[in-house]
Amino acid sequence: MITRRSFIKSVLLFASTIFTGVSIPGCLRYPQKSTKLLFFSHQEYFIMRKIASRMLPLNPSPDELGVADSIDKFLISADKNIQSQFRQLLAVFECGTFIFNLKLRPFSQLPAQEQDKYMNSWAASRIGFKRQGFMALKKFCMSNYYMNDQTWNEIEYKGPWHGRKS
């Protein structure tokens, strides 16, 4: 009998295998970042940037504000459990397209519209760990974007009391 735990384990294992597969040089191209990453691998960093680009507005862009870099900085000092869970999450999210949606490409290689659809399927999923994964990715993206004062003009926020524009 397939229990919830064994199902999740199978999905994680399968996704990790695919993730390892797609990470082999020449299999799929994940661009290298020129500056040093603290926590993410180049693949993970690229996936995170793609996720942020669908979660967040275009102006200013998450790349301009370094959203993925901020998450990288946060995670390097997070506890080991959170670190390993986040790595697993990125692997499953990237390769879940093969498992859950029978697509032939991972999330980061899908067209934008397909990426949104896929993300929505996680947000509204009946499977608890997909909703949990969506929430985690969303919180990281939203907080690291909107805490940055360069986004405040766009929402017409005048800033906190100290330095508030009248």
Partner 1 sequence: MRLSTKGHGMEEKADICVIGSGAGGAVAAKELSERGYKVILLEEGGYYTSKDFNQREDRMYPLLYKDRLAQLTKDGAIAVMQGRCVGGTTVINNAICFRPPEEVLDIWRRDFGVKGLSYDELVPVFEQVEKVINVYQHPLEDLNEHQRLLYEGSRAFGYRGAPFMRNVKDCVKCGCCMVGCSFDRKQSMILNYIPMALKYGTRLMPNAKADRILVKDGKAIGVECSMNGKKFRIDSKAVVLAAGAINSPQLLLKSKIANSSGEVGKNLYFHPLTPVVAVFDKELKGYYGITQSYGVNHFSKMPDGGFGYRIEGVFAMPGLAAMVLPSFGKVHWNIMSGYNYMAACFVLVHDEGTGQVTVGSDGRPVIEYSVSEKDKRKMIHGMKEAARIYLKAGARKVYTTHNEIVEIRGENDLDLIDKRGIEPNSLTLISAHPQGTCRMGEDPKKSVVNSRGESHDIRNLFICDASVHPTSVGVNPQVTIMAISTHISSFIKV
CB 38 within 8 A of CB 45: no
Using CB under 8 A, which residues numbered 132 to 161 contact partner 1?
132, 134-136, 138-139, 141-143, 145-148, 151-152, 154-158, 160-161
Q: How far is the CB of 154 from partner 1 (least distance, A)?
A: 7
85 residue type, one letter: Q
Q: What does the alpha-carbon distance between residue 80 and residue 75 come to, in Å, rounded to a whole number?
A: 9
Q: How far is the CB of 110 from partner 1 (least distance, A)?
A: 14
Burial per residue of 54-63, b for 16 or more beta-carbon CB atoms within 10 angstroms, e otherwise: bbbeeeeebe
3-class SS of residue 57: coil
Using CB under 8 A, which residues numbered 11 to 40 contact partner 1?
none
- Applying CB under 8 A, which residues contact partner 1? 54-57, 74, 78-82, 116, 119, 123-124, 128, 131-132, 134-136, 138-139, 141-143, 145-148, 151-152, 154-158, 160-162
